[in-house]
C-alpha cells in the first residue's frame, strides 16, 4: 500500500524534500529579512524609551521627517496625475510613438537611481545646462526641496502608470464609449465611469509610489547636498547619524521608516483583497466582462 502511494506521489512531493525546502526558506527569511527588523527595534530602544523619544524629537530628525513628508506630499500627487494621464493616453488613444512612450515610462525601473541624481546634477547644477540661468534668477533647485522632489519623481514615475495600464487595457474603451454615447461629458465619464473601475489599482500604485518616495536614497543623496537640518530626508539622515556613531538615533529614525513600510505592506495586502495589484487582476477584469473586441 505504502509503495503504491509513493509511486503515485507527484514529482517533488516527498516529505523530505518538502520540509527541507520549507526549512531553508524559513531560515533564510529569518536571517536576511526578519532579523534586521528585530535589530532595528532592539537598537532603537537600546538606550531606553526616553532616549528613543529624544532621538526622534531632535530638531535634525524632525527636520528630516518634515522634508520626507513634504517631498512625498508633492511627488506622489504629481506622479499620480502623471500616471493616470499616461495610462489614459496609452490605453484609450492611438498615436504615433505610443509603444515608445510605454518603454520610456519604464526607464526609471531599470536605471540605477544614482544615475538619475547625477543627471539632474548635470542639468540643474552650477556647471550644468541651466545652472547659470537658475543662479542668476535666484532659483534654487539643487541642494533644496525642488531637486529632491524632482529626483524622487523620476524614480517613482512608473509606479502608478504601471498599475493602471494593464487594467485599463483589459477594460478596453467600451465603458467610456457607452458613457459618451449616453451624453456624458469627458469629466463625467472619467469621474463616474473610469475612476470607480480603476480606484483600487490606483490606490495600490499610489501606496507603492509613496513608499518608494519616502525610502528613496540614491537619487536624493546626489541632489540633496546633505545639509543637516535643512535638506536631509529621513533615509539620508539615518546614514548621517550612523556615520556619526549615533547608533540609537540612527535606529530610532530607521524605525520610523520601518513602521511606514509595515503600514504600506498591510495596505497593499488589503488592497490586493479588493482586486488591485497583479495578484487580484484576474478577478478585477473578469467582473468587467469585456473581452477584446473582434475587429469586424
Partner 1 sequence: MKIRLDHVVKTFQTFRAVHDVSLDIESGELVALLGPSGSGKTTILRMVAGLEFPDGGRIFFGDQDATEIPVRERGVGFVFQHYALFPHMTVADNIAFGMRTRRARKRTPAEIEARVNELLRLVQLDGLGDRFPAQISGGQRQRVALARALAVDPRVLLLDEPFGALDANVRRDLRLWLKEIHGQLGITTLFVTHDQEEALDLADRVVILNQGKIVQQGSAADVTRNPNSAFVMRFLGDTHVIRSSVEDGKARAGSITVPAPGLANGPAEIYVRPSDIAWAGTEAGLPVTVTRVIDRPGSRRVFARMESGDVVEFDVAPENPLAAGDRGAIRFLRAQVFAA
Structure letter (DSSP) for residue 228 = T
Question: In sequence order, what are the residues at sequence separation of 6 or more whose Cβ sits closer than 8 angstroms to the Cβ of residue 110?
Answer: none
Site string (131-160) toward partner 1, x via CB under 8 A: ------------------------------
- Of 34-42, 132-140, 236-244, 284-292, which segment contacts partner 1 by CB under 8 A? 284-292
Q: How far is the CB of 183 from partner 1 (least distance, A)?
A: 3
In angstroms, what is the C-alpha Rg of the chain? Answer: 24
* Alpha-carbon span 26 to 197, nearest angstrom: 38
Complex with partner 1: residue 175 or 261, whichever CB lies closer: 175
Binding to partner 1 in span 157-186, by CB under 8 A: 174-175, 177-185
**Among residues 59, 96, 138, 291, the one that binds partner 1 under rule CB under 8 A:** 291
Q: How far is the CB of 197 from partner 1 (least distance, A)?
A: 6
Q: How far is the CB of 283 from partner 1 (least distance, A)?
A: 11
* Alpha-carbon span 145 to 152, nearest angstrom: 10
Question: In sequence order, what are the residues at sequence separation of 6 or more whose Cβ sits closer than 8 angstroms to the Cβ of residue 209?
Answer: 75, 76, 79, 80, 83, 156, 159, 160
**Among residues 43, 46, 197, 246, the one that binds partner 1 under rule CB under 8 A:** 197
Complex with partner 1: residue 23 or 196, whichever CB lies closer: 196
Complex with partner 1: residue 74 or 202, whichever CB lies closer: 202
Q: How far is the CB of 191 from partner 1 (least distance, A)?
A: 12
Q: Does 97 bind partner 1 (CB under 8 A)?
A: no
Q: How far is the CB of 98 from partner 1 (least distance, A)?
A: 13
* Alpha-carbon span 159 to 153, nearest angstrom: 10
49-57 vs 59-92: helix axis angle to the nearest 10? 70
Binding to partner 1 in span 8-47, by CB under 8 A: none
Complex with partner 1: residue 18 or 188, whichever CB lies closer: 188
* Alpha-carbon span 261 to 268, nearest angstrom: 10
Range list of H helices, the chain: 2-8, 15-29, 35-44, 49-57, 59-92, 98-110, 113-124, 131-136, 145-156, 158-171, 174-181, 186-189, 195-215, 218-224, 234-243, 247-273, 277-288
Complex with partner 1: residue 144 or 290, whichever CB lies closer: 290
Residues that bind partner 1 (CB under 8 A): 174-175, 177-185, 188, 192-193, 196-197, 287-291, 293-296
Amino acid at each position: 500500500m505504502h509503495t503504491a502511494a509513493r509511486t503515485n506521489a507527484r514529482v517533488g512531493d516527498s516529505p523530505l524534500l518538502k520540509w527541507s525546502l520549507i526549512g531553508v526558506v524559513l531560515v533564510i527569511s529569518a536571517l536576511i529579512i526578519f532579523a534586521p527588523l528585530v535589530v532595528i527595534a532592539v537598537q532603537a530602544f537600546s538606550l531606553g524609551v526616553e532616549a528613543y523619544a529624544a532621538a526622534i524629537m531632535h530638531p535634525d530628525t524632525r527636520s528630516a521627517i518634515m522634508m520626507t513628508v513634504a517631498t512625498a506630499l508633492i511627488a506622489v500627487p504629481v506622479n499620480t496625475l502623471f500616471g493616470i494621464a499616461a495610462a489614459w493616453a496609452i490605453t484609450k488613444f492611438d498615436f504615433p510613438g505610443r509603444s515608445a512612450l510605454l518603454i520610456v515610462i519604464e526607464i526609471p525601473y531599470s536605471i540605477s537611481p544614482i544615475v538619475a541624481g547625477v543627471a539632474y546634477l548635470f542639468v540643474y547644477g552650477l556647471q550644468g545646462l541651466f545652472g547659470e540661468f537658475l543662479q542668476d534668477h535666484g532659483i534654487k533647485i539643487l541642494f533644496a526641496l525642488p531637486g529632491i522632489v524632482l529626483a524622487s519623481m523620476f524614480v517613482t514615475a512608473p509606479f502608478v502608470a504601471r498599475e493602471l495600464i494593464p487594467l485599463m487595457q483589459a477594460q478596453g474603451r467600451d465603458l467610456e464609449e457607452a458613457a459618451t454615447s449616453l451624453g456624458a461629458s469627458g469629466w463625467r465619464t472619467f469621474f463616474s465611469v473610469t475612476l470607480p473601475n480603476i480606484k483600487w489599482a490606483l490606490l495600490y500604485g499610489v501606496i507603492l509610489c509613496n513608499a518608494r518616495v519616502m525610502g528613496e536614497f540614491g537619487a536624493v543623496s546626489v541632489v540633496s547636498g546633505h545639509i543637516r537640518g535643512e535638506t536631509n530626508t529621513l533615509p539620508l539622515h539615518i546614514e548621517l547619524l550612523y556615520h556619526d556613531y549615533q547608533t540609537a538615533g540612527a535606529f530610532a529614525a530607521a524605525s520610523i521608516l520601518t513602521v511606514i513600510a509595515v503600514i504600506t505592506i498591510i495596505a497593499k495586502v488589503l488592497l490586493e483583497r479588493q482586486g488591485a495589484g497583479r495578484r487580484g487582476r484576474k478577478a478585477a477584469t473578469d467582473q468587467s466582462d469585456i473581452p477584446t473586441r473582434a475587429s469586424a
